Amino acid sequence: MAETEEAQTGVPIISTTAILADKQNQIYEHEHDTTLQGAVPIIDSKDVNGSEVLKDDFNDAAVIDDNISSRPEAPSLHDSAVETSKDNVKHDATIDAEHTATSSLPDNAEPQTGILGDLYAGQYLKDPSSHASASAELPVEHGSLPTNDATSQVEDTSSSNNVSAGLTIPASVVDIPTQHAEADLAHGERQRSIYDDQEPMDAEAAAQYDLPDQFADEQDLEVDDNDENDSTMGGDTESLTTSLSSSIYHYRKEHGRTYHAYKDGKYIFPNDEREASRLDLQHHLFRMTFNQQLYFAPVTPRHALDIGTGTGIWAIDLADLLPECQVVGIDLSPGQPTMVPPNLKFIVDDAEDLWLYQDKFDLIHARLMAGSIADWPKFYRQAYDNLEPGGWLEIQDYGLPVRSTDGTHEGTDIHRWGVLLCEASAKMGRPMGSDACDLYAQQMRDAGFVDIQERMFMWPSNTWPRDPFMKELGKWNMINCLDGLEGFCLALFTRALGWRKEEVDVFVANITRDFKDRRIHAYFPMPFFRLPPALAGFVISCLFMIPTADAQYPRPVTYNNTLKSPINPAVTISYKVPDPGTCMTAFPTQKQYSGYITLPPYTLAPIQQNYTINTFFWFFESRQVPESSPLTLWMNGGPGSSSMTGLFEEMGPCEVVQMSDGTYGTQSRVWGWDRISNMLFFDQPNQVGFSFDTATNASYDFYAGEIIEPPTGPTTLPPYMYMNGTFGTANVNDPTTTTANTTEIAASATWHFLQSWLAAFPQYNPATRPNITSSQVPAAAAGVHLFTESYGGKYGPTFATHFEEQNQKRLNGSLPYNSTLEIQLESVGIINGLVDDAIQDPAYPEFAWNNTYGIQAINEVDYLNSRSYFAGAGQCSDQINACRMAMNTTDPGGDGDVSATNALCESAQISCLNVSSPYIKSGRSVYDIRQKLPTPNPPSAYQEYLNNETVLSSIGAQVNYSQSNPYVQQAFISTGDTIRGGLSQDLAYLVSIGIRVGLIYGDADYICNWYGGEAISLQVASLLPATIPMTSTTDPSAIVFTPPDYATAFPAAGYAGVVVNESYVGGDVRQFGNLSFTRVFDAGHLVPYYQAEAAFVIFSRIVQGTDISTGEAKNLSTWATTGTQNSTRTNTVPPTPSTTCWVRDWNNTCTPDDTEAMLAGKGLVMHGIWYPDDDSVTLPSSSVAAGVPGNPMPTSGSLSSAGQDGGSSTMELTGVFTATGTPKPSNSKGAATGLRAPVESWRLAPLGVLVGAFLLGGTLLF
């Protein structure tokens, strides 16, 4: 119990205090909804424009001598732990891709699924009783229009919202006596029209959300997950306020950051774009905390003032919410947008000067002003004088320094940081943290305010809490804090404490390490910590009320074969033959093997691999002549997504179906790629899927997507959302300790895996097996073929290039020839891959704005802003270039062991999320633009099947199955792996040495859309060297033939239709020589799932080296397709099938209402599916037949393809189609709409990430 308690209490908390002060004694009945309204986006695009999200927490103050010689000791430049932690805080991030269900996020502060597809982050629920005004999407989406397509927006800066999220913030309200009771009563009635449903939750209601009672009273203040930079610079400013002359924009520049010019030095935090983005993220965090409410005060204001408006996001939200309210925002910096609601204006003004506004206000709002005001009593007096009778003042602020209940903060840099911040701000004459906040209430009383109310809120420093809501707050707070950390320290420490910038940089690195360390149980001291009885009761229940969790431990495994690798005796190969029926193949004669190849520590030397790698594989023979068939390697993406997704959801020999009793079995797949090839599926890098380092008993929290060691009960979660089982080591604090953190390292591990696999199964190695030929296998196909998708756009080029480099080292003697094997690569296929962000990111706004489905997912302002986020000065493109320059100089091998380069690339990666962020608020799936969330495709039945103990035993799995691993994703994010580049060059190299490269893109996918894929194909062609003329063998001076250059011939090749069968054209292809780009009609991110037959046809033609349009044999040295220069086919959006709420994939497949009911323990769960009641349970008919381990179903030479690709005829299970003509496009056999229809209802629906998909916690790129 003590251990549990320590884990529960040990973490830095940022306390938030909200203070409301009314100007009169009249007491209003304050009603506000405290339920969690809306979905928390997976990755907020606004969060980090720049660095690795450095936020702040503030600490206490100590008296310090003004003498510089006695300044606090700065850290030595030689201090240890300067290296940035590789544990990623952004995208648990980055980044599973949720969306905001209640209000559109700010244009540049959007939760993002951007680059890293796995939208994994938690989703919060709407209270069914919440009032529409509090949860409805804001009607106006604002954003500053760029002056041209590539320019960046007007810099949105902030001077007040300086506190990093993560601090507990006091919220106070002060009351003033009124002389107009009648008017106040009228205001009260208007107020009720907006806040009618916003009454505090009682303890019973709060329990439904597993939230402390504290939040029943305090969880409803300003939280904006919507518009971010929608503010205007005011037009008619007061005569005595500063006009927006150009001189105001001459910002002070210091240490690479900019600061306000007007009243230079009064605000000591930056006002640049990076800080503006953080402030918008921070606003989103406030709205999450306050249940989407913008303010607490029980008033519907007619005139409102926002002091220290920063980017203007709070003022914009208020103006949108209350169109009849005249809103004024003031700030020292003119960084607000120019396109704003007509009832809003911004003024450059100093809140410490005399207030001379034309109108008095009903509401004055100030957020995080501690450290910015020198004379708080004067401030409160002016606020009092400028309020209407009955008006309200609302302050939100923070406290410092950090403390802990168990002493773990003592001696840490995170604690020292807070102390120094308070000391420095005191020297500057503008106290911050508890030095300021503790005096607020009395200072308000002294100014004449009455009815002062104080509410407290918690912001955990990271994801340490077990409570799902607090964990989500902690995640966003960590991002917020880390992103602002440098800005909080630079000016204060250099100006007030006399530090050098280099000393600050070292200290920031050390604080960052502490901030990510969940073992430091620090919190930010605020009145919040004098807990009310309700909160104390909640904490106690978390600690001691531990329900029993379901357990699914794998059985002990016995393998048919355990042997030492013929290549490396230190490597162990353990495998078995799965029981018949485990994965039904077309023919019972097809052999299959599953198991592990174990690489001991330091196998990858000189790479620092001090952990064991147990790589899981599952091999299937081809349906015909496996002894001479090609070998296809399949990898899913992520990073962190299991290749079992491809096996069971896309193109493997079998698929999972539900039987009449509700359990699951398998059927053979008509268009499985084993139709022509031997297939090897493997989970990589280490810790993904069934792969692991050390089998460890632990708990898996489906809601948070986290592994908890040792196994515990589900605390406040229903037992079916919390499973005890066996997994690899979680390594929450540093995921890089047991897995790869760059694609280059993953490539090395995979090469070593393949060396031993090919040595153990020489009969399937095209480079070493006997010279067996078959008329059914073209010579061009008899090799190794690497196919992948999504983040595989990084894996494919890197892995293939590494394999070729190793082949060359064998030949030149750099590697021992006799103890290594050639990997005879013939082709590389990439399905909807993210290859190069610099080339593909510009396609995000284009595809969202103008696609062949006629779906306009974003408005024009979002479109222009999104383009600006990529091309604007200091934005995504510039940061990508900076990352790549640093990498080429300091880490050309891509090992991810240079902390400064890692931080630079990680910052670029997060910044680039802004480009795709506007799409997220559309509520559409990033994997299929045709679908609104939750998505119905594909189903998650296979995850339930693979965690069945008989299946685990049958395949020799030593750990439980999980579709995606957030810790692996965090490891890759920590090095900025996706940004590092060089992959287009790798693909060009592969083409140049004769390897076929096929790029395949479903045209409904957004996250890796075909516009970007087409751009990659053209980029690769442009990088290929000029061709060398072919000369006569008898006369070297006589040129026989000069092949055309790819750079000119590939773009010149026209688009030809991909003839899938006699009646269906399934896509368009541009092909020249060994390079091809194919657009697949009506297919989302996982192309083989949506268009199985078309995907197989394209795959087979790439493997066999034929014309991808028809399948005919061609001389690829000269072959080019003919047709139109552009693929212009338009699509029809089909009806969306109904969804199914899968518990293991709740964040992608369940509605907010479903999730809310689940967390409250309502409804029932059967076979992994949540149903609201017994009447909702539906099972397939008794006619559904499937195989299970030990009990296969009968097979034949044909199979009904009902429900697949729209066809319903009986199909042969072998053979490849070759077209003799081009049929007219139709929706007949094979021409599916791309959405799996209800005819397949027994196959169930929904999918799971960000993360099996890429981007980013619950969502990766598959």
Asked if the peptide bond before residue 465 counts as cis, ω within 30 degrees of 0, the response is no
**Among 331, 311, 329, 334, CA closest to 250:** 334
Burial class of residue 163 in the structure, from the number of CB atoms within 10 Å of its CB (0-12 exposed, 13-18 middle, 19+ buried): buried
Say which amino acid occupies 247.
S
Q: What angle do CA 867, 872, 875 make, to 5 degrees?
A: 100
Q: State the catalytic residue, choosing from 30, 32, 283, 1085.
A: 1085
Place of tokens 């967390």: 1159
Q: Which of 718, 720, 721, 716 is nearest to 207 (CA)?
A: 716
Beta bridge partners of 348: 242, 331
Catalytic, 1085? Answer yes
Please pick, among 277, 574, 790, 868, the residue that the annotation labels catalytic.
Answer: 790
**Three-state secondary structure string covering 1026-1065:** CCCCEECCCCCCCEEECCCCHHHHHHHCCEEEEEEECCEE
Rounded CA gap, 762 and 749, in Å? 20
Q: Rounded to an integer, what distance in angstroms lies between the CA atom of residue 1116 and that of residue 831? A: 21
CA distances from 104 to 228, 314, 559, 921 (A): 9, 14, 53, 5
- CB half-sphere exposure, 1209, CA atoms < 13 A: 8
Q: Distance between CA 453 and CA 174 in Å, rounded? A: 7
Tell me whether strands 326-331 and 303-307 are parallel, antiparallel or unpaired.
parallel
521/13 Cα distance (integer angstroms): 9
- Kindly report the three-state secondary structure assignment for every residue of 500-513: CHHHHHHHHHHHHH
Residues in the chain: 1262
Give SS3 for 209. coil
Give CA–CA dist 900/873, Å, rounded.
Answer: 22
Q: What one-character DSSP code corresponds to residue 312?
A: S
In the residue annotation, 250 being an active-site residue is answered as no
With tokens 């699509």, the residue in question is 1131
Which one is catalytic: 306, 674, 837, 1005?
Answer: 1005
Cα torsion angle, 737, 742, 745, 747, sign: positive
For the chain, the farthest-separated pair of C-alpha atoms sits apart, in whole angstroms, at: 109
Which residue bears the tokens 């399905």?
831
Distance CA 1166, CA 124 (A): 23
Return d(Cα 1137, Cα 1243) in angstroms, integer.
12
Q: What are phi and psi of 257, to 5 degrees?
A: -120, 160
The per-residue DSSP string of 633-651 comes to EEE--BTTB-THHIIIIII
Nearest Cα residue to 498 out of 73, 79, 59, 55:
73
Looking at residue 67, its amino acid is N
The question of whether 1005 is a catalytic residue gets the answer yes
Secondary structure element (H or E) that encloses residue 837, with its range:
helix 837-840
Task: Retrieve residue 635's tokens.
Answer: 């990898």
Q: Which residues contact 73 (CB under 8 A, 6 or more apart)?
A: none
C-alpha–C-alpha distance, residues 990 and 1199, integer Å: 38
What residues contact 554, with CB distance under 8 A and at least 6 apart?
Answer: 725, 726, 949, 952, 953, 957, 958, 959, 960
Which of 687, 289, 648, 312 has its CA nearest to residue 480? 289
Q: Give alpha helix (H) positions in 147-296.
A: 181-195, 203-207, 213-218, 273-289
CA distance 631 to 644: 17
Pair 1251, 1140: CB distance under 8 Å: no
Residues annotated as catalytic are 790, 1005, 1085
